[in-house]
Amino acid sequence: MEKMNCELKELSLDEQKEINGGNPILAFVAAAIVGGIIYEVSKEVYVAAVKGYIQASMDGTYDGLPSRSFTH
């Protein structure tokens, strides 16, 4: 097997940041913002579903149906 002679050079700090994905603080802030948006949207969907269920119950939609405990 033939050995290869490779010339290696040290990467500068800018090159290291480019390879590793940039600024970790900026990535954290962006992820926190996206996570907050996802949380708020899912919370609003849940609240709307609960309000819809409550309203349907008040309108008599579920009158006459057996309860969940009845099926057990």
Could you state, in order of their start, the residue ranges of all structural domains in the chain? Answer: 22-56
pTM > 0.85: yes or no: no
pLDDT at 67 over 70: no
What distance in Å separates the CA atoms of residue 30 and residue 54, rounded to the nearest whole number? 36
The answer to whether the CB of 19 falls within 8 A of the CB of 11 is yes
Banded model confidence at residue 37, pLDDT cuts 50, 70, 90? very high
Length of the chain: 72
| Residues in CB range of 17: below 8 A, 6 or more apart | 23
Q: Which amino acid is located at 37 in the chain? A: I
The answer to whether the CB of 62 falls within 8 A of the CB of 56 is yes
